[in-house]
Amino acid sequence: MNLHEYQGKALFAEYNIPVSKGKVVFNAEDIIDVCNEIGGSKWVVKAQVHAGGRGKSGGVELITNPEDGVKFAKKWLGKNLVTYQTDKKGQPVNCILVEECINIAKELYLSAIIDRESQRIVFIGSIEGGVNIEDVAKNMPEKIIYQGFVYKDDSLKENAENIAKVLKLNDQQTIQFISIIDNLLRLFVEKDLSLLEINPLVITENKDLHCLDAKINIDSNALYRQPELLDMRDESQEDPKEAEAAKSDLSYVSLDGNIGCMVNGAGLAMGTMDTIKFFGGNPANFLDVGGTATQERVAKAFKIILDDPDVKVVLVNIFGGIVRCDLIAEGIIAAIKEVEVKIPVVVRLEGNNADIGSKILSKAKIKIESINDLAEAAKKAILLAE
Amino acid sequence: MSILINKDTRVIVQGFTGSQGTLHSKQSMEYGTNIVGGVTPGKGGKQHLGRPVFNSVEDAKSSLDPNASIIFVPARFCKDSILESAEAGIKLIICITEGIPTLDMLEVKKRVDELGVRLIGPNCPGIITPGEAKLGIMPGDIHMPGSIGIISRSGTLTYEAVKQTTDLGFGQSSCVGIGGDPIPGSSFIDMLKLFQDDKQTEAIVMVGEIGGTAEEAAAEYIKNNITKPVISYIAGKTAPSGKRMGHAGAIIAGGKGTADNKIEKLQECGVYVADNLVSIGFKVAEVLG
């Protein structure tokens, strides 16, 4: 689950990590009061969406008059912001963050992830901030440092200093930096983050370190113990079909082909998509219906798949393990009737009682193509989709 | 021979009396697995499926002297359950449960490594040595004792590889699902080592998927250390970047972890890569002649 910048910065503030004075608004008119409350004569207004690249797309503006902030908000609130990180539709803007303006001397980069290889929380620092870090990694790898950390061990200071050196911080800034890393690491662990990115981390004209952005992802497996973060969820930023599927405990990712896929198991679901592609077709989605594949779940999965108008045929691929294929076949037939599926359905059953399952499918009064060989089933689906 | 488990392995089940624990323990016992008892806090002293139940792993350990534990408890309790077993001196732990917070696994992995405990999973189908013992949720009847060692990050994809190698008459020495999480207890490399030393295993099938660099690391290891033929299949060629494909670990991030990268690296290191899910078995046949 992702957080908005304003929510991330509220967490930063809670952990004594330096961020700008600011406030989020949901109504354009409120900007005048907020500017007055913040004080000063220059402010930054930032459209809040779950995507980077906002600045280049007009989603961030520097204003010297609160009225301009109102104009900015009226332009964006209720609209979609398209950046290089979003799809063609963009992400809806529901609120605007208003902040004091910070004068920048230098932009740096700092992020943290859980690194699979070293099995540590790794901080990534670069002296090149405010740009796409993947480009830096590719073109100037010497300007990036990866430093592993173990929570609560005694090498924090030394490890933080390793990064500070690459960022060319002075003594005063290095002291600030150690404290920032200490607090970020605590935040990372206590709030179950999976990613944290500050791009840019800046050195201000007063030579202090300051976080100008905050991107935070939370481990969805840990949300049960982070109720206050779960409350921050903004469903408007999520793909509505993926969110709907998640509510039924189905994993769904939409793709741009025309062959709907319903598979048990994530690996097999990917393998099925690949098989369709291998034989020249185009999968419309990834969908893992789960190990049990009951009528209820299959029906729900059909509804989600058929909601995509491009889908011309559905390929169901189930490897019956613990649940026998004859039971799964009955569930599929009942679900097709329940959802009133009108397009062709190809079913491949394999595993426990697959033969009995296929017989049940072929005898059904509705039209189902029952093919036990996956390659043949995929070819049939491709033919029917043409 | 086989790896990790055989008919003599003495197994306890954590989460023994729950619905998942009961269902799969029953099937494992029918398969011939030597399940000696189980643990469910608060139900110690009772009998379940004809086996004794204990309140803690420590109690079960001192009464039954088990050498493996399989875990079916809900995700939020898994960290404690794995650590409880590891601290009690169980040297092989299999965790089936999906959805454990990644930071829990960081802590668990560090501790099991310190204690020299072999952890398989989480988020995996478990291990089977065909004809001897089944510690997992896989359907037993698709397996056949034989010569192929199978290692996989995915459950149902493992079953595909098993079915294909059974249908072609090879059978399996042992099959291990290492799981689909970002921080697994055991890696491909850990299992490759064991299969290399196992006399029964003639070839190894390694089923990988997008996300992370475990397959690339395994490829490098195979080049330098494995003399047996390795056949691989990688799922997720068509997966889009930045989207989690079901498994927590299956995500292409920052251009890293693509299927194409992995396949290229594997081929470079002398691994036989099946270009399609349906041709894993044929590839094995081709390689073994």
CATH at residue B18: 3.40.50.720
Give the range of the structural domain holding residue B71, as residue numbers without chain letter: 11-120
Q: At which of B69, B87, B120 does a domain end?
A: B120
Please state the rounded mean pLDDT for residues B197-226: 96
> Top-level CATH class of A21-101?
alpha beta
Please state the rounded mean pLDDT for residues A122-127: 95
Query: Do B93 and B155 reside in the same domain of the chain?
Result: no
Q: Which candidate from A221, A222, A266 shows the least CB-CB separation from B154? A: A266
Count of structural domains, chain B: 2
DSSP class per residue in A277-315 = HHTT--B-EEEE--SS--HHHHHHHHHHHHTSTT--EEE
Query: Do B17 and B108 reside in the same domain of the chain?
Result: yes
| Residues of chain B contacting residue A116, judged by C-beta atoms under 8 Å apart | 182-183, 212-214, 249
| CB-CB contact of A251 with A288 (8 Å) | yes
User: What is the pLDDT of chain B when averaged over all its residues?
Assistant: 95
Q: Which candidate from A114, A265, A272 shows the least CB-CB separation from B102? A: A114
| Residues of chain B contacting residue A224, judged by C-beta atoms under 8 Å apart | 76
Query: Do B210 and B106 reside in the same domain of the chain?
Result: no
Share of chain B above pLDDT 70, in %: 99
Please state the rounded mean pLDDT for residues B199-222: 96
pLDDT at B254: 67
CB within 8 Å: A274 and B236: yes
Question: Residue B68 falls within a domain, yes or no?
Answer: yes
- Is the pLDDT at B257 greater than 90? The verdict is no
Please state the rounded mean pLDDT for residues B83-90: 98
Question: Residue B129 falls within a domain, yes or no?
Answer: no
Peptide bond into A18 cis (omega under 30): no
Question: Residue B4 falls within a domain, yes or no?
Answer: no
Q: What are the pLDDT digits (tens) for A42-51?
A: 999 999 999 9
Residue type, A199: N
**CB proximity B119 to A under 8 Å:** no
Q: Which CATH number fits domain A1-19+103-238: 3.40.630.30, 3.30.360.10, 2.30.110.10, 3.30.470.20?
A: 3.30.470.20
pLDDT at B245: 83
Question: Nearest-CA residue of chain A relative to B247?
Answer: A266
- Is the pLDDT at A268 greater than 70? The verdict is yes
- Is the pLDDT at B52 greater than 70? The verdict is yes
Query: Do B174 and B106 reside in the same domain of the chain?
Result: no
Q: Residue A70: phi, psi to the nearest 5?
A: -60, -45
Between B60 and A239, residue with greater pLDDT: B60
Question: Residue B220 falls within a domain, yes or no?
Answer: yes
Q: What is the predicted ipTM?
A: 0.90
Question: Nearest-CA residue of chain A relative to B242?
Answer: A85
Which has the closest alpha carbon to A150: B86, B261, B287, B107? B107
pLDDT at A327: 85
**CB proximity A153 to B under 8 Å:** no
Q: Which of these ranges, A13-22, A326-335, B29-38, has the smallest mean pLDDT? A: A326-335
Segments making up each domain of chain A, as ranges: 1-19+103-238, 21-101, 240-385
Question: Residue B26 falls within a domain, yes or no?
Answer: yes
| Residues of chain A contacting residue B154, judged by C-beta atoms under 8 Å apart | 265-268
Query: Do B245 and B156 reside in the same domain of the chain?
Result: yes
Residues 258-277 of A with CB under 8 A from B: 263-277
pLDDT at A376: 96
User: What is the pLDDT of chain A when averaged over all its residues?
Assistant: 93
CB within 8 Å: B235 and A271: yes
* CATH fold of the domain at A240-385: Rossmann fold (3.40.50)
Query: Do B150 and B112 reside in the same domain of the chain?
Result: no
pLDDT at A75: 96
**CB proximity B139 to A under 8 Å:** yes
Q: Are strands B203-209 and B272-273 parallel, antiparallel or unpaired?
A: unpaired
- Is the pLDDT at A293 greater than 80? The verdict is no
**CB proximity A12 to B under 8 Å:** no
pLDDT at B123: 94
Chain A interface, mutation test: which of B156, B175, B256, B282, most A Cβ atoms within 10 Å?
B156
- Is the pLDDT at A357 greater than 80? The verdict is yes
Q: At which of B85, B120, B155 does a domain end?
A: B120
Please state the rounded mean pLDDT for residues A267-281: 96
Strand, coil or helix: A133: helix
Eight-state DSSP code of residue B278: G
Please state the rounded mean pLDDT for residues A211-215: 96
Query: Do B113 and B146 reside in the same domain of the chain?
Result: no
Kindly list the catalytic residues of B: 247
| CB-CB contact of A321 with B138 (8 Å) | yes
Share of chain A above pLDDT 90, in %: 74
- Is the pLDDT at B240 greater than 90? The verdict is no
pLDDT at B253: 73
pLDDT at A253: 92
Q: At which of B65, B90, B120 does a domain end?
A: B120
DSSP class per residue in A190-257 = HTTEEEEEEEEEEEETTS-EEE---EEEE-GGGGGG-HHHHTT--GGGS-HHHHHHHHTT-EEEE-SS
Query: Do B57 and B169 reside in the same domain of the chain?
Result: no
Q: To the nearest whole angstrom, how far is the Cα of A216 from the nearest Cα of chain B? A: 15
Query: Do B25 and B53 reside in the same domain of the chain?
Result: yes
Please state the rounded mean pLDDT for residues A242-252: 86
Between B245 and B213, residue with greater pLDDT: B213
Q: Residue B278 maps to which CATH number?
A: 3.40.50.261
Please state the rounded mean pLDDT for residues B67-94: 97
Between B246 and B178, residue with greater pLDDT: B178
